[in-house]
Structures are given as C-alpha cells and as structure tokens.
Amino acid sequence: MTDESSRTGRFAGQVAVVTGSTRGIGAGVAKRLAYEGASVIVTGRSREAGAATVADIEADGGEATFVRADMRDPDDIAALFDACVERFGGIDVLVNNAGVETNTAVDEATMDDWAFVVETDFRSFWLCAKAAAERMNEGAIVNTSSNHAFLTMPSMFPYNAVKAGINGMTRAMALDLGPRIRVNTVNPGWVAIDRTTDEMDPEYRQHLESIHPVGRLGRPADVAGAVAFLASDDAGFVTGTSLLVDGGRTAVMQDDALPDYRERRDTDE
C-alpha cells in the first residue's frame, strides 16, 4: 500500500499512461499516480502481471485498466493511445518507462541486441510521446532514463548509450512540444526490484548499500515520488531537465571512499 501522506489528489480528474508498468519501477509509478487520483492505463506484454497491478491499484481505491502492448510494435503503440482515449476520454500524463537491457560490450553486441534495446527503450519513447501529444491538450511527459546516462559500467551497451540519448530526446521534446506539454527525465540509480536483487548475494548488497550516501538501495516508491512531482503542477516551471534519483551514488568518486570514511569517523567518535 502507498504511504497515506502521498494521497494528495494532485492528479484528480487526470488520465495517465505508464508504459512498462506491470512490474518494478513502472508498477510503482502507476500505483502512485492512481493513489494521487489519476485514472491509469497500465501496459506491458504480460496480461497476468498487468491484471495484478490493476488489482493492487483498485484495492487501494484507485482506478486503472490494463491494455496489452508491445513497445517494439508501432501498431500496438497507436492502439494503446486509442484505447486510452476510448476508455477515459483523453490523456494528461505519459510516463515512458518500458525498458530492457543486454549484458553486452560495444564489440560484442549484435544487430539483434541493438534492435531489442533501441526499439524498446528509445524508439518507443518517441512514438509514445508523438501519439500522446496528438491526443493531449495540455500535460506532462516523464521519460525514465538511468544514472547510466552520466556514469556507466562495462558490458552495458547499448543500454547505456540509449539512456544518454533519452536525456537528449527529452530536451528536444521539451522544445518542440512546449509550452503545451512539459517533458522531463527521471534518472534512477540502483533500485531494489526483482530483476536486480532477487539473486543478489547478501554481502554484495551490503556493499552496494555502503557506497550510497543515503545508506541503502532505492525503492520503486522513491522513483515514483520523483515522477509524480515532475508530472504534477508542482513542477510547472520545470521542463527539459534530467533528475537523478540515485541516493547520491553519482556524487561518489571512489567505491571505497564512503565505507572507509564512515569507519574512520565511527572510530574517532
């Protein structure tokens, strides 16, 4: 259940589409927007997972419906936004969140790897924004990128290149769609979701937590709160920007700096 303090009604009477919202960060965003009053279109490839997210939203008093769509299919994307207008009469908020990755290096990635990531994580953001803008009077778009847009790791190509590209795409969208539509990016860091932490060694997780200034990994709710802000009128003078939501991870130059510093400080005390 979402924290009661977040039930502000900021999105009352609004309609939101959240792509890739059957699990993880996307599901967290969908639940948060619904909790704040939005009617939400949950979308993804799994009907079962989509139904579960909708059920969670409805159990919390929100309104949502699931529309199956594969973000690699332009026809599915067009049908998604047609279904949104048919079901709710319009659209006010789009959260581009669908994403995949491959553990491949620049010299290892194949054309299939490239197409898989670029079509899902990048092209679909453009197509969804274009489709939403055609059906939106005024509103907001939030694109989900990553802290990999700023700092990265080996064997994360083309995911890291695409995430950097999303920041540039956001700036272009903000210029071309404004002033009618504001467009921003949220850049999450390490977030504890099934695919990142289910099989993680406890010792490694403890290490990861130790190199974050906030002392923990992120939660979907952390990202959802940032997305809700960027999509709301509270961010009415914010557009074309990228917001890091990474627990301060990109503020750390060396992985061992924080643990060693804290150990010394605790000893001195």
Please write the tens of the pLDDT for every residue from 149-175. Answer: 999 999 999 999 999 999 999 999 999
267 is a domain residue:
no
Instruction: Tell whether 172 is covered by a domain.
Output: yes
Vertex 95, ends 48 and 140: CA angle to 5°?
150
Sequence-distant (≥ 6) Cβ neighbours of residue 245 within 8 angstroms: 186, 187, 188, 189, 218, 222, 223, 226
Instruction: Give the chain's domain count.
Output: 1
pLDDT of residue 5: 56
- Return the minimum-mean-pLDDT range out of 119-133, 205-219, 231-245: 205-219
Residue 256: predicted pLDDT: 75
Tell me the pTM: 0.92
Find out whether the peptide bond into 179 is cis, omega within 30 degrees of 0: yes
Alpha-carbon distance 145 to 159, whole Å?
A: 10
What is the pLDDT, as a whole number, of residue 196?
Answer: 67
Q: CATH no. for residue 31?
A: 3.40.50.720
CB 186, CB 226: distance < 8 Å: yes
Say if 262 falls within a structural domain.
no
Largest CA distance in the chain: 65
pLDDT bucket at 6, cuts 50 / 70 / 90: low
Nearest to 220 by CA among 102, 53, 45: 53
| SS3 call for 93 | strand
Give the amino acid at 122: F
pLDDT of residue 200 exceeding 90, the answer is: no
Amino acid sitting at position 200: M
Task: Specify if 226 maps to a domain.
Answer: yes
Asked if residue 206 belongs to a domain, the reply is: no
How confident is the model at residue 149, as a pLDDT?
96
Coil, helix or strand for 116? helix
Tens digit of each residue's pLDDT (9 = 90 or more) over 40-68: 999 999 999 999 999 999 999 999 999 99
pLDDT band at 20 (very low <50, low <70, confident <90, very high): very high
How far, in Å, CA of 117 to CA of 147, rounded?
17
Which residues are the active-site residues? 159
Q: What number is the average pLDDT over the span 70-98?
A: 97
Least confident of 13-17, 218-222, 235-239, 263-267: 263-267
Query: Domain span at residue 95?
Result: 7-198+218-252
